[in-house]
Structure 1
Amino acid sequence: MLPGSIHGNTGQSSPSPYTVTVSQTTYQPGDTIQVTLSGTIPFSGFLLEAHEEGQNTAVGTFSLGSGSGIVLVPCNGIAASGVSQSNNQPKRTVTVTWTAPASVSLGNILVK
């Protein structure tokens, strides 16, 4: 999923007031990692995916954590490989769990 694919907008090019943090910086196949999106200002639209560094295909799956108004979405035909908003209510923090693929050892993973 890309910003312009549905809404006709381009991605942000200025420094972001939002951060994505993870509960651990290394992983093994099948590990679960808490992922938190937070902002210094509220946000009402977002899309989180995990990608192997240098690749554009989502890897692993997400499950919902804290926060309301969030939903799992398929990316690249992979169920629950993305997380997005389900309403336009402003949020300051969203926490979800990412699960690494159980049978594949990938390289560096970026959540964006």
Structure 2
Amino acid sequence: MLPGNFHGSTGQSSSSPYTVTVNQTTYQPGDTIQVTLSGTFTYKGFLLEAHEEGQNTAVGTFSLGSGTGIVLVPCNKIAASGVSQSNNQPKSSVTVTWTAPASASLGNIIVK
């Protein structure tokens, strides 16, 4: 999950002015959770993925809400396991839905 994979730039190393929030902090297999990316500044590009804590492989799938300028992307060859921008129009907030995998063997999930 590095921006260089898509845009040829390096990742940010300072604190982020953006936050990722969820509407619930626990999940059961198959649960759907709203995920919101927002910030104090507008942004033109982003990539969201959900990972099991300590792992680098995307888990679960995303679906789009009513927002515009966003698209589902495959990560690690898993369809709809990421969300990104589909245009460069400034955004201040994006909300999508993440669906937990059907497997009950996963631990803590981090959305980043």
Q: TM-score, normalised by structure 1?
A: 0.96
Does structure 1 residue 29 correspond to structure 2 residue 29?
yes
Q: CA deviation at 1:104?
A: 3.7
Q: CA deviation at 1:102?
A: 1.2
**May I ask how many residue pairs the two structures share in their alignment?**
112
In angstroms, what is the RMSD of aligned CA positions?
0.9
Please name the residue that 1:92 is paired with. 92
Does structure 1 residue 48 correspond to structure 2 residue 48?
yes
Per-residue deviation, residues 11-61 of structure 1 (Å, max 9, x unmatched):
111111100000100001000000000010000100000000010000000
Does structure 1 residue 68 correspond to structure 2 residue 88?
no
Unaligned runs of 5+ in 2: none
Please name the residue that 1:59 is paired with. 59
Q: TM-score, normalised by structure 2?
A: 0.96
Are 1:28 and 1:105, in contact at CA under 8 Å, matched by a contact in 2? no
State the percentage of identical aligned residues: 87
User: Which one-letter code corresponds to 1:6 in the other structure?
Assistant: F
Partner of 2:50, secondary structure, is strand
Partner of 2:5, secondary structure, is helix
Unaligned runs of 5+ in 1: none
